Amino acid sequence: MKTELELKEIVKAKYSEIALQDKETNMSSCCGAGGCSTEVYNIMSDDYTKMEGYVADADLGLGCGLPTEFAKIKEGDVVVDLGSGAGNDCFVARRSAGVSGKVIGVDFTPAMIEKARANAEKMGYNNVEFRQGDIENMPITANVADVVVSNCVLNLVPNKHAVLTDIYRVLKPGGHFSISDVVLVGNLPNALRNAAEMYAGCVSGAIQKEVYLELINACGFKNVVLQKEKPIVIPNDILKNYLSETEIAKFNQSDLGIFSVTVYAEKPAATCAPGSGCC
């Protein structure tokens, strides 16, 4: 079993490669390094092209949902995007937040930060910035974000509780998040669960749906809502890299469910405790 640090280094290496490729190359090769299955990063992607604020150069086809579509972003909001990549969700969020709002993208991979900053400069966006950092300990002050969004990124972080705790920290009281991610119902075969490619592709890092929702509640969030859910089918051309034909048949006939979900939750509004002097 790989350590948390080893898993993070796998992710950083894979997404550094992806950052240097265009979307078409990513769509035809899981990492561009050869010898790996096709489409592993893209079997879940939703179509952003009809969303206002969409910037084609920022879309690497790596998401599993459309969290910004459900994020209830208002004019003037401060929005934080976790795992911002080349800036795709940040630029869509900017359209809703307007020129009076601010969007901050946080990403672990230096190559992605460089690509996102180049895209923002090319578009002339002065209220979108990108910060390199670990989303378990974001380079963002507490209580500054009105909205947090993230698209298929928590799966890449071994300690999901730490990420949710930090989301709670950076959100203003009464703020909320909309996060798209991959969850499971049932257990993945060991060969998939232990595969580095499947981890970097957001599959083997997935946790049980019930556990995912319980974690959100345990971190203090309220009004947790499942905004969207869709099944994800892993093609046999991917499975054959990890499983035998017999194992693939068993996998496809099992009751295992892999789902893309978009989840909404709120940080409770600040309350005034009696005797505290705040009211």
With respect to residue 206, please indicate whether it lies within any of the assigned structural domains: yes
Q: How confident is the model at residue 236 (pLDDT cuts 50, 70, 90)?
A: confident
238-254 tens-digit pLDDT: 888 888 999 999 988 88
With respect to residue 279, please indicate whether it lies within any of the assigned structural domains: no
User: The tokens of 266 are what?
Assistant: 């709120």
Main-chain dihedrals φ then ψ at residue 222, nearest 5 degrees: -125, 170
With respect to residue 276, please indicate whether it lies within any of the assigned structural domains: no
Number of separate domains in the chain? 1
CB neighbour burial string for 224-248, b if at least 16 within 10 angstroms, e if fewer: eeebbeeebebeeebbebbbeeebb
Q: Within 10 Å of residue 145's Cβ, how many Cβ atoms?
A: 27
pTM of the model: 0.85
155-187 tens-digit pLDDT: 888 899 999 999 999 999 999 999 999 898 888
CATH of the domain at 234: 3.40.50.150
Q: How confident is the model at residue 96 (pLDDT cuts 50, 70, 90)?
A: very high
With respect to residue 140, please indicate whether it lies within any of the assigned structural domains: yes
With respect to residue 167, please indicate whether it lies within any of the assigned structural domains: yes
With respect to residue 226, please indicate whether it lies within any of the assigned structural domains: yes
With respect to residue 111, please indicate whether it lies within any of the assigned structural domains: yes
Question: Would you say 103 and 90 are in contact if contact means Cβ atoms under 8 Å apart?
Answer: yes
In terms of pLDDT, which residue wins out, 210 or 9?
A: 210
Which residues span the domain enclosing 219?
A: 4-266
Can you tell me the distance from the alpha carbon of 244 to that of 267, in angstroms, rounded to the nearest whole number?
A: 46
With respect to residue 278, please indicate whether it lies within any of the assigned structural domains: no
208-230 tens-digit pLDDT: 999 999 999 999 999 999 999 99
What's the chain's average pLDDT? 84
Can you tell me the distance from the alpha carbon of 210 to that of 58, in angstroms, rounded to the nearest whole number?
A: 33
- The alpha helices in the chain, defined as continuous H runs, are 4-19, 23-28, 67-70, 88-97, 110-123, 160-170, 190-193, 196-200, 209-218, 236-239, 245-253
